[in-house]
Structure 1
């Protein structure tokens, strides 16, 4: 996502911050990129569809501040030989703690690979590089979380017209209300829905249950806007 600079021009996303360049193209597997973060954002490189899903769900969890891809960590085996491992993603939380993620399908997570990850986890934590290190597989992709993360991502750009209207509607709401009823009160149809979704993303609104965000979900005011 590009952003208008103060001079009136276009400011492109910041370049990747990892220690290894991801593949630009491949005939054998998915490659691509995603722009995350507020404003002009930061571009992350991706080398599988699973990495794309992982980045999306991690980036839109409430306590995650930023995601960094392909972070180098040097570890040693039982013989003391040094090896390089590029951590697919490091998630930095608002409190400053970090969790590294190795992204791999379960069918490719061999016993040897899992043993290596266990050593990397122990060494990275003991050295203070990470606070935790986990394997992320297709089993960790929750369909509800992924759907909502993609929705948050699609409406991430603020709306100078719709957002104030949605905030006025939320300020006056009481109790638990159907999302569609709030949209009707904005009188902005899709623009109003997107603005209300941004208020869910910011934590001002919360859904009553854990489900896909739609006009039919029940929401309540969690913070004053």
Structure 2
């Protein structure tokens, strides 16, 4: 079925599925309001509301895996019994449903805050209450789990995958037919003047789909080297 992007028709995004409204302003974190597309929505864009840059980074790093069927932000709450015997509720920052049906609930926190508050111990109790009725797995995601460059690339790779440009994709496929070893992206672009800068988007899509591998350190750029994925 042709989605809205392919039909070049504006369709308003679906509303957020968050179970808890977040404050629009904060002095300690960056709020993110953006749109994504996941298979669960049948090609429709959906608005998501995130409470921090860490949540946005976690979202795109997971989406870039290509294994996500659905995602819910501010998911829950889950009721659990804490160390002191008191009952509390916890709302997970993100709940991912993978293509194979596995549900992974992620708690996103700065590493220093996790250590200062012993949140990892508390999360173990939350996980005991959440699995398997709410999710199949609970994951703690901190700023120590990824490099900023990887998060930026994940966002670019994901959004490039939503764009349709058969001409640029075909040009890239032709250029890579006899590609062995590695090649610099700007060298590929020099051979594709007819599609101009659109080749870079095709390269991002090829990396996202696994057809090409990014072989350089840091963000994908014209100076990066890529190579064909092993078949």
TM-score after normalising by structure 1 = 0.81
- Root-mean-square deviation (CA, aligned residues, Å) is 2.8
Report the CA distance between 1:121 and its aligned residue.
1.0
Report the CA distance between 1:80 and its aligned residue.
6.7
Higher relative contact order (CA 8 A, sep 6+): 2
> Could you list the runs of 5+ residues in structure 2 that have no partner in the other structure?
none
Report the CA distance between 1:136 and its aligned residue.
1.7
Compared with structure 1, are the counterparts of its residues 97 and 164 closer, same or farther at alpha carbon in structure 2 (3 Å cutoff)? same
**Which deviates further from its counterpart, 73-82 or 201-210?**
73-82
The alignment of Structure 1 onto Structure 2 pairs a total of residues equal to 220
Distance 2:124 2:210 in 1: 35
Question: For residues 173-200 of structure 1, what are the alpha-carbon distances to aligned partners after superposition, in whole Å with 9 as ceiling and x for unaligned?
Answer: 3443322222222223321112111111
Q: Note if contact 1:31-1:47 (Cα within 8 Å) is conserved in structure 2.
A: yes
**Which deviates further from its counterpart, 58-67 or 184-193?**
58-67
SS at match of 1:214: coil
**Which deviates further from its counterpart, 46-55 or 149-158?**
149-158
Report the CA distance between 1:67 and its aligned residue.
2.5
Q: Report the counterpart of residue 93 of structure 2 in structure 1.
A: 88
Q: Report the counterpart of residue 19 of structure 1 in structure 2.
A: 19
Q: Report the counterpart of residue 134 of structure 2 in structure 1.
A: 129
Candidates 43, 46, 50, aligned match of 1:42: 46
Distance 2:100 2:180 in 1: 32
Q: Report the counterpart of residue 183 of structure 1 in structure 2.
A: 189
Candidates 88, 100, 105, aligned match of 2:110: 105
TM-score after normalising by structure 2 = 0.80
> Could you list the runs of 5+ residues in structure 1 that have no partner in the other structure?
none
Report the CA distance between 1:168 and its aligned residue.
2.6
